[in-house]
Amino acid sequence: MSWEETLDYYGVLIEEEGKKFLTEAKKAAKAYHPFIEKVYSNIEEFVLRKGKKLASCSTLLAYEGYAGKIDNRILKACVSIELYRHCILVHDDLVDEDAQRRGGKTFHRLVAENYDDRLGCGTGVFVGDLMYALTLQAMLNSGFSQEKLNGVTLLLLEGYRNVNESQMLDLLFEFKEPGVDEWDVMASKRAASLFEITILVGGILGNAPERDLQILREAGMHMGYSFDIQDDIIDTFASLEQYGRPPGGDIALGKKPLHIIYTFKLASRDALNTLKNLASKERISPDDLESIRVIVRESGALEAAKEEAKEHAEKAKTLFAKTGLSDETKKFFTSMITYIEESLDWYK
Amino acid sequence: MSWEETLDYYGVLIEEEGKKFLTEAKKAAKAYHPFIEKVYSNIEEFVLRKGKKLASCSTLLAYEGYAGKIDNRILKACVSIELYRHCILVHDDLVDEDAQRRGGKTFHRLVAENYDDRLGCGTGVFVGDLMYALTLQAMLNSGFSQEKLNGVTLLLLEGYRNVNESQMLDLLFEFKEPGVDEWDVMASKRAASLFEITILVGGILGNAPERDLQILREAGMHMGYSFDIQDDIIDTFASLEQYGRPPGGDIALGKKPLHIIYTFKLASRDALNTLKNLASKERISPDDLESIRVIVRESGALEAAKEEAKEHAEKAKTLFAKTGLSDETKKFFTSMITYIEESLDWYK
């Protein structure tokens, strides 16, 4: 199977297990109050919405790469990882005031449109919290040994703390011009942390040898960095058709993706003034965004960000090769990372 | 010692242990980024701010009531309980747009005033998340046996899920007129859940016999209900001097405390129309609030809510008496609950 087929194949299995878990949770909610039952239906739709399950499939493949098989326990653990990723997204979308996520409404918008913004945003806050509790409950009920679950719980706590710290810095960067080093520090706890955790969880549950755990952690980190940089490039450089929603959202919010930070470093003073004027406009038109793209591109910043993404991708591949993961799992990670590297060239 | 002296005495010990824990956390944050270090300083100030530590002292006293002593491990567990309570408060204050908490600024306002509302509210979301991770990390590092910690972790997950479900209902009630039964359902997962959890955690860690655990759970629930009802009565009926902030905040937000729900049931149609007109005003003046109080009082709703609080208080005392808790601990809980009952009469 190609890595895309693998993602699709395992994605369906994780989805089925997720449906079981959330059906149980919905039953308990129904006994409490019809509104909360509806909230759990929304959670179900949001978590199981179509899309590549990169994080949980990374857990699953890392597990299979050591255990030699998949079983019901790891599917339950992957449901936990999906909940983990989505509880982060609920708060991320809320704070960034995003309306769309993977072809549907963001969680707070789902509720807001049936009531109003106050109930939508409030529910968004509380649902993100609730989903993190569900994350740990799903993991602790996966059926693995208590010893392994202890290790994995500590990782999910470390990861959640990390990602929330990086989210605050990401927000702070709307108020300042961070340097490349500062961006690297912030991003070390974002997607880098997510993939560190998800791959390590699979390794721990699959009985990876001690020496592999540190390598997996670093491999996940570099993989996460490359995804993160690519993701941000897409937000600025993708077309509406490629992206499925209007590009330029990060820049409109005053966020500082790596290619913008490189622009601060590399562009001429005039170009930079133009960029800042455009980026601070109340409404950034498609033409404004195109002018911003030209400045980022011509300063060499786009290329510099792509280079950094590629360096991380190459490091990740080298590290995966050093582990005792099965050849199939190595092939999965390597071809997925190569795809990310190659896809960088689509955005010019 | 009186129950107040007990709270003060143990409060200081928990504070000292909390300071140690948060100093360590701040060190790690400093290595990440100065802004995050500052966030941890704010967390420290917020969590350790003066005030009665009812929740964590309940844990401590329940522990002492079985273990016969206190030790460093239970103080660490109490730090976890304080973090737990405060992570809930951070999101509660944020969603309710409160500016003041225990004589200081609410968390999101602390940050907002140094930057702006967007960074304040966003940081409020992420800090609440972060503090829940800290809660579980503090508990898991308390030094109790893994078996006990497993049980306690499951409780803290159940409790967090519960409290966030009730927060959503509390918010929903701004849009509807719940009945008394519906309020009871909502409140079963609010302060009732908090005290269920905190007392049960103390019992489990202190080796309470199995048969006591179910009694403690119910005792905590009833105690929580009585606190909850009293708390809401205070918000409407306290004077500025008694409350330390302007009363009437719940009504201004359209919240539905139990005494208001009883008013819907008991007041005449005319009185109810007057109340609704007053409560829906853009700004509720002290005179408006006084008129609302008169309606609540004269309909018999205030008395009905007080009666319900007293029934819960009496049930809690009866249940505590049935446990194998030490006499000192029984006395602590009983006199604290009696105080709550008596203090109901201050608000007329």
Contacts B171 to A, Cβ<8 Å: 118-119, 122-123, 126
Region class of B179: left (phi > 0), else alpha (psi between -120 and 50), else beta: beta
Q: How far is B78 from chain A (nearest CA, A)?
A: 19
**B31-76 pLDDT tens trace:** 999 999 999 999 999 999 988 899 999 999 999 999 999 999 999 9
Q: How far is CA B228 from CA A73, B232, B236, B263, in A?
A: 41, 6, 13, 17
Closest chain B residue to the Cα of A189, Cα to Cα? B32
Q: Which of B152, B188, B224, B202 lies closest to B323, judged by CA?
A: B202
For residue B129, what pLDDT is reported? 98
Residue A104 has φ and ψ, to the nearest 5°, of -135, -175
Per-10-residue mean pLDDT of chain A, 348 residues long, equals: 95 97 96 96 95 95 98 98 98 93 92 91 97 98 97 98 97 94 96 97 98 98 97 94 87 95 97 96 94 97 98 98 98 96 90
* C-beta atoms of B134 and A161 within 8 A: yes
Q: Are strands A104-105 and B104-105 parallel, antiparallel or unpaired?
A: unpaired
- Taking an 8 Å cut-off on Cβ atoms, the answer to whether A122 and B160 are in contact is no
**Residues on chain B touching A132 (C-beta within 8 angstroms):** 129, 132, 160
Residue (of A308, A317, A158) closest to A230 by Cα position? A308
Instruction: Answer whether A245's CB lies under 8 Å from A105's CB.
Output: no
Query: What is the average per-residue pLDDT within B243-271?
Result: 94
Taking an 8 Å cut-off on Cβ atoms, the answer to whether A95 and B122 are in contact is yes
pLDDT at residue B244 greater than cutoff 90: no
Amino acid at B5: E
Interface contact flag, B172 A119, Cβ < 8 Å: yes
- Work out the minimum CA distance from A150 to partner chain B, whole angstroms: 9
Mutate to test the interface with B, among A85, A88, A108, A125 (most CBs of B within 10 A): A125
pTM listed for this prediction: 0.96
Q: Which of B29, B140, B160 sits opposite A129 (nearest CB)?
A: B160
Q: In terms of DSSP H, where are the helices of chain B?
A: 3-32, 34-48, 54-67, 72-95, 107-112, 117-140, 146-172, 180-187, 191-205, 210-237, 240-243, 249-252, 258-266, 269-279, 286-298, 301-322, 327-343
Structure tokens at A253: 């919010």
DSSP H helical ranges for chain A:
3-32, 34-48, 54-67, 72-95, 107-112, 117-140, 146-172, 180-187, 191-205, 210-237, 240-243, 249-252, 258-266, 269-279, 286-298, 301-322, 327-343
Q: How far apart are CA B177 and CA B200, in angstroms?
A: 33
Q: Do B140 and A154 touch (CB under 8 A)?
A: yes
Contact across the interface for B168 and A126, Cβ inside 8 Å:
yes
- Number of inter-chain CB pairs under 8 A, A vs B: 148
Give the integer Cα–Cα distance in Å for B87 and B217. 22
Interface probe for B, chosen from A136, A152, A157, A171 (most Cβ of B below 10 Å), is: A171
Min Cα separation B2/chain A (Å): 37
Average pLDDT value over all residues in chain B: 96
Rg, Å, chain B Cα set: 20
**pLDDT tens-digit map of B324-341:** 999 999 999 999 999 999
Which residues on B lie below 8 Å from A115 (Cβ)? 172, 175
Quote the Cα angle for B188-B212-B225, to 5°.
20
- What does residue A105 show for φ and ψ, rounded to 5 degrees? -80, 150
Closest Cβ–Cβ partner in A33, A115, A164 for B129: A164
Contacts of B93 in chain A (CB under 8 A): none
Mean pLDDT (whole number) for B9-19: 97
pLDDT score for A103: 84
CA–CA gap between residue B168 and residue B192 (Å, rounded): 16
Contact residues on chain A for B121, CB-CB shorter than 8 A? 95
Of A94, A134, A169, the CB nearest to B35: A169
Instruction: Provide the pLDDT for residue A50.
Output: 87
Q: Give me the pLDDT at residue A244, please.
A: 77
At B102, the pLDDT band (50, 70, 90 cuts) reads confident
At A51 the pLDDT is: 86
Give B240's pLDDT tier (boundaries 50, 70, 90).
Answer: confident
d(CA A327, CA B331): 66
pLDDT score of B217: 97
Cβ neighbours of A160 in B, within 8 Å: 129-130, 132-133
Annotate A193-258 with DSSP letters as a single string: HHHHHHHHHHHHHTT--HHHHHHHHHHHHHHHHHHHHHHHHHHHH--HHHHSS-S-HHHHTT---H
Chain A interface mutation, best of B146, B165, B175, highest count of A Cβ atoms under 10 Å? B165
d(C-alpha B311, C-alpha A253), whole Å: 53
Bridge partners (DSSP) of residue B104 are: B101
B316 to chain A, closest Cα gap in Å: 23
Angle between helices B146-172 and B180-187 (to 10 degrees): 150
Q: How far is B338 from chain A (nearest CA, A)?
A: 30
**Residue among B86, B114, B121, B129 with most chain A CBs within 10 A, to mutate:** B129
- Contact call for A122 and B168, based on CB within 8 A: yes
